[in-house]
Chain A
């Protein structure tokens, strides 16, 4: 674990894996005075309360992710994405098997980014861990469900994107006017079901 200075009131905590990211996020979550806590692929950005943050990190066990308040979210998906056949071909299975694999796993929101409410979910079965498209789409419709590398995600709104799209959901992923604007928050557990 490496602590990198980020201005006067923030630190970038650099670790070696998503599990370690989850461990760091979990021990810092809810710490008094922390203004922002932003997990990412190999880092956690923390702003505020740096003295307490350093104390907590001095004794953190990176191999163990403490239980935090995580929600269970179910996302209904219609599996008719434009890249479903490509994904099946790459995995050397049938499209039905892709659906079975994608709905069979339990995922965790590792971090959010790219756009408000866009959660990067880990837990993807190895045969579905596939590269991005060679050429990104200029517009991916809102609700599209895709895979890229070790992640799967649902697009909260229409944006450009290079993920392989296997389906779509009608669920609202982000609504800034709602009491809980983001359906997915880091640490939440997610399952996909056939709509």
Chain B
């Protein structure tokens, strides 16, 4: 019989995510995958899963789950309170979840996305090599709803735990950015990026982190649509930059002033609206 997990409450948004489906951009398929992959792979390691196993990405925590078998769970991302049957437990640690008991996840004080790994991993069918929900193109499982039941894979024996202090999401981000491919659309792109100041907009989502603040002055017009990579900073005519995150469209027609290094994108994936953002151009 298949082991299952029941999502009693999803919280604001609960999605199945793994490391995504890169390599299909030529078909118009976004990479998708956990926005803070560092936290998902950590949660997987804590419960003995492969790093590529699917877990849950929970916007502002708030979820409650129960399983029909005893299993190991781990909650990562920003620090957050968790309870097992109303007993307080720790995030960033493997936790034993006895059969039919309930795991409840609070709302983190900082950051945006909490990750939950369950031993065996969420075992929904793969689409184009991944179990991730892609909110732009509708590939992968639907966003979860209260009382959804998900199958779990076969658990491994946990191999020992990392010791990992949770990291609070920062109130101010300074993000390295490499100029190009279309920095020539901007007069002195480097200075404009270095001197500008922005905040994360509440219109941000898995497609992109939208920034409000200094207007980046660019030429008028559009480029014939061209390929976009994750981390590309697109500048629409209003001059307010958008940093493409994992569910970004594979092509676009606004100039990309620069590209944010992959290692720093997870901080944008955890940045609440209002977080200050500066760019540090590097060559």
Instruction: Tell me the A residues contacting B by CB distance below 8 Å.
Output: 4-8, 10, 12, 35-45, 47, 111-118, 174, 176-177, 181-182, 185-186
Which one of A38, A182, A185 lies within 8 Å of B250 (CB-CB)?
Answer: A38
**A176 and chain B: residue at smallest CB distance:** B127
Bound CA–CA A176/B23 (angstroms): 14
Bound CA–CA A38/B179 (angstroms): 20
Residue of A7, A112, A174 with highest tally of chain B CB at under 10 A: A7
**A46 and chain B: residue at smallest CB distance:** B227
A42 and B226 in contact, given A5-B178, A8-B178 (Cβ under 8 angstroms): yes
CB distance from B126 to the nearest CB of A (A): 9
**B282 and chain A: residue at smallest CB distance:** A8
Interface CB pairs A-B, < 8 A, 10? A4-B180, A4-B182, A5-B178, A7-B229, A41-B225, A42-B224, A112-B27, A112-B250, A113-B28, A115-B137
Across the interface, which residues of B come within 8 angstroms of A43, CB to CB?
A: 224, 226-227
Interface residues of B in 217-247 (CB under 8 A from A): 224-229, 231-232
B139 interface residue (CB < 8 Å to A):
yes
Interface residues of B in 1-54 (CB under 8 A from A): 22-23, 25-29
Do residues A40 and B27 form an inter-chain contact, with CB atoms below 8 A? no
Contact with A along B239-283 (1 / 0, CB 8 A): 000000000011100001001111000000000000000000000
B166 interface residue (CB < 8 Å to A):
no
Across the interface, which residues of A come within 8 angstroms of B180, CB to CB?
A: 4-6, 12
Bound CA–CA A10/B250 (angstroms): 14
CB distance from B133 to the nearest CB of A (A): 11
Residue of A6, A44, A47, A177 with highest tally of chain B CB at under 10 A: A6
CB distance from A145 to the nearest CB of B (A): 17
Which one of A4, A38, A41 lies within 8 Å of B181 (CB-CB)?
Answer: A4
Bound CA–CA A111/B261 (angstroms): 26
Bound CA–CA A69/B196 (angstroms): 48
A35 and B22 in contact, given A41-B226, A43-B227, A176-B128 (Cβ under 8 angstroms): yes
CB distance from B250 to the nearest CB of A (A): 6
Which one of B26, B125, B227, B262 lies within 8 Å of A12 (CB-CB)?
Answer: B227
Across the interface, which residues of A come within 8 angstroms of B120, CB to CB?
A: none
CB distance from A84 to the nearest CB of B (A): 26
Residue of A37, A40, A112 with highest tally of chain B CB at under 10 A: A40
Contact with A along B165-197 (1 / 0, CB 8 A): 000000000000011111000000000000000
For B, the interface residue count at a CB cutoff of 8 angstroms equals: 34
Across the interface, which residues of A come within 8 angstroms of B28, CB to CB?
A: 112-118, 182
Do residues B25 and A177 form an inter-chain contact, with CB atoms below 8 A? no
Bound CA–CA A40/B26 (angstroms): 9
Do residues A185 and B27 form an inter-chain contact, with CB atoms below 8 A? yes
Bound CA–CA A42/B253 (angstroms): 12
Across the interface, which residues of A come within 8 angstroms of B251, CB to CB?
A: 38, 40, 111, 113-114
Do residues A6 and B26 form an inter-chain contact, with CB atoms below 8 A? no
CB distance from B253 to the nearest CB of A (A): 9
Bound CA–CA A7/B258 (angstroms): 7
Bound CA–CA A5/B227 (angstroms): 13
Across the interface, which residues of A come within 8 angstroms of B55, CB to CB?
A: none
Do residues B139 and A12 form an inter-chain contact, with CB atoms below 8 A? no
Across the interface, which residues of B come within 8 angstroms of A39, CB to CB?
A: 26, 227
Bound CA–CA A145/B204 (angstroms): 33
Across the interface, which residues of A come within 8 angstroms of B140, CB to CB?
A: 176
Across the interface, which residues of A come within 8 angstroms of B229, CB to CB?
A: 6-7, 10, 36, 45, 47
Do residues B225 and A35 form an inter-chain contact, with CB atoms below 8 A? no
CB distance from A46 to the nearest CB of B (A): 8
Across the interface, which residues of B come within 8 angstroms of A44, CB to CB?
A: 227
Contact with A along B98-139 (1 / 0, CB 8 A): 000000000000000000000000000101100000000101
Bound CA–CA A44/B250 (angstroms): 12
Across the interface, which residues of A come within 8 angstroms of B228, CB to CB?
A: 45
Q: A35-B22, A177-B127 given; name 7 further pairs at CB < 8 Å.
A: A7-B262, A35-B23, A36-B227, A44-B227, A112-B250, A117-B28, A177-B125
